[in-house]
A and B are shown apart, each in its own frame.
Chain A
Amino acid sequence: MSAFVFTLRDEPAQRLDLAPLVPQRLKGLREADIAAIALNTTRERVTVGDVFALRPGDSAQLRFEGGSARFDRVGAEMAEGEIAVDGAVGAQAGRLMHGGRLTIGGDAGPWAGSGMRNGVVEIKGDAGDRLGGPLAGETAGMRGGVLIVRGNAGERAGDRLRRGTILIDGAAGSCLGSRMIAGTVIVGGAAGALPGYLMARGSLVLGGGAAALSPTFADCGVHDLVANALLAGFVRPFSRDLAAILTCPLRRLLGDMAVIGRGEIFYPAR
């Protein structure tokens, strides 16, 4: 059975909360029921049918033809199935997701993958700030799953990461992995200043180094660790280039010593 397709009629005039459009919430609904779903927005009441032309199909596979930076919370709390967006999305894509796969063809706004528990999010363009990070008042960010960015990520990617893996093929902004609790972030390009700022535990791998490292990280020398071979095996199906970084000897820094200092930063030995 082919995917259930939502074709964007026009660029939306206001921000739209697309959280209701996830496979587990659409299961068993008729086309008319779906078209009548009201979307949270800013000024005027909008239904799904106002924004999208619908082409019914398998509700476990949703496809959005046409994206918009005003599409917020795409795939939020998604539990199963697949969502593919042929374009950009706005804030909090994949927020609190706990299963399935979300593929974003263009750029994503801030807080993509925020607090996600499980599943896979792939952003083919760039990601905004605080990738996987918590919203204000939350104690932890991403708690599981895999979050992939094919382009660049903004500032504070992996903020308060608790568990799971973030893979960034391009570059990352400043304070990558800030306040990390655990988990893994791998960046293929250069990272901005102060990666691992106040990280307690967890692993950062910086394939292209960093603009500036905090002096509160202690150099532990160059190592060829079995754990990185394991990590490479896990990462390879998602990104061969990032896996290749892990198969070389890497310099290990221990920190952030400004907190408990059980985290680590790896970067290629030169």
Chain B
Amino acid sequence: MPHLTANGIRIDDTFAEAFGMRATALTVTASTLRWARQAAVTMTGYGTSVIGCGAEAGIDCDVPSSDTPDGRPGVRVLLFSTSTAELQKQLQGRVGQCVLTSPGSACYAGLDGAERLKLGNALRFFGDGFQVAKRLGDKRYWRIPVMDGEFVCEATTGLTKAAVGGGNLIVMGARSETTLAAAEAAVAAIDAVPDAIMPFPGGIARSGSKVGAKYKGMIASTNDAYCPTLKGSGRSALDADIGAVLEIVIDGLTPDAVANAMRAGLAAIVALGPERGALRVGAGNYGGKLGPHHYHLKDLLP
């Protein structure tokens, strides 16, 4: 693989191949930031990959009380899926089971747009006839009586069909510790980028996958070309000095959000340098024939 060099780190001359997705955003509030985060963390759980979870979900940012509809601290959550129907199902299930149930929570649209997904309009039936609708200006809310008061939920939230899933950086280092340090630096930088999430645990995936498997019915399996314990096999993509590989997967509400996130992550890895961080950075693709969005690393370098 031809590569460039930045601050002593080898940057593969390759690209991340990403796909169009459906996405939505929510603002979850509570009486304290701790409980807003708790609701958001719970609803984004088991939301790492559409391969097995139905949706990819994560926390975009904290929202200060001055910017939330009810003046309480909040958290912005992004949710991605492959179809509008599946996104609607995941939204309803996750908000119903994880936000509605969380003490003091309320839930509002986090995205504008003409196309809408049902939010409170789907959850109101929990009120069993005691729910109350309230229209304020051009927004409609549902008030559902619950045991600590009321769950307030906006009737709908926006849907975007311009979202992108599958932006990625493959971080390769000599040892697990240094590779993780580089990946953590990238995650911290990407966290500050609006409209983008990293759905894997702590933003990092250690089990990158390839399409298909030798076993029937498996749609994805381990990316053996990047497994250091298989370095000696003929299919390895790793150099002799690479001892650990981690992947950062990025979903964004727009193609630009993904590009900005990858740019920020790459800059953080490069800034950390090869001694304390990564020796090499690559990106995953399928030859460019499957996903319409191509993010070339050379275009994203600082």
A residues whose Cβ falls under 8 Å from a Cβ of B: 144, 163-165, 182, 184, 201, 203, 223, 225-227, 229-231, 233-234, 262, 264
Contact = CB atoms under 8 A, between A and B. Distances in A.
A230 B141 contact: yes
Interface string B119-143: 0000000000010111111000101
B185 interface: no
A250 to B, nearest CB: 12
B150 interface: yes
B275 interface: no
A227 B134 CA distance: 9
B152 interface: yes
Given A226-B70, A226-B72, A226-B106, A231 B150 contact: no
Contacts of A229: 70-72
25 contacts: A144-B135, A164-B135, A182-B133, A201-B132, A203-B134, A225-B143, A225-B149, A225-B150, A226-B29, A226-B72, A226-B106, A226-B149, A227-B132, A229-B70, A229-B71, A229-B72, A230-B69, A230-B70, A230-B134, A230-B141, A231-B134, A231-B136, A233-B69, A233-B71, A262-B130
A164 B136 CA distance: 7
A263 B141 CA distance: 16
Nearest to B130: A262
A235 to B, nearest CB: 9
Interface in B109-168: 130, 132-137, 141, 143, 149-150, 152
Nearest to B106: A226
Contacts of A184: 134
Contacts of A262: 130, 132
Contacts, number: 44
B136 A165 contact: yes
Nearest to A144: B135
Contacts of A201: 132
A223 B70 contact: no
Contacts of B152: 226-227, 230
Contact of B141 (A144, A227, A264): A227
- A227, A231, A262: most-surrounded residue (chain B CB, <10 A): A227
A92 to B, nearest CB: 24
A228 to B, nearest CB: 9
B135 A230 contact: no
B132 A234 contact: no
Nearest to A165: B136
Instruction: Name which of A164, A182, A201, A229 has the most chain B CB atoms within 10 A of its CB.
Output: A229
Contacts of B72: 226, 229
Nearest to B145: A220
Contacts of A264: 132
A165 B136 CA distance: 8
Contact of A230 (B133, B136, B149): B136
Nearest to A231: B136
Contacts of A144: 135
Nearest to A223: B149
B179 to A, nearest CB: 44
Given A226-B106, A227-B143, A234 B150 contact: no
B138 to A, nearest CB: 10
Interface string B4-19: 0000000000000000
A116 to B, nearest CB: 14
Given A231-B136, A262-B132, 13 more contacts: A226-B70, A226-B106, A226-B150, A226-B152, A227-B134, A227-B141, A227-B143, A229-B71, A230-B69, A230-B70, A231-B134, A233-B71, A264-B132
Sorted from nearest, which 7 A-B pairs have the closest CB atoms? A234-B136, A229-B70, A226-B152, A227-B143, A226-B106, A226-B70, A227-B152
Contacts of A225: 143, 149-150
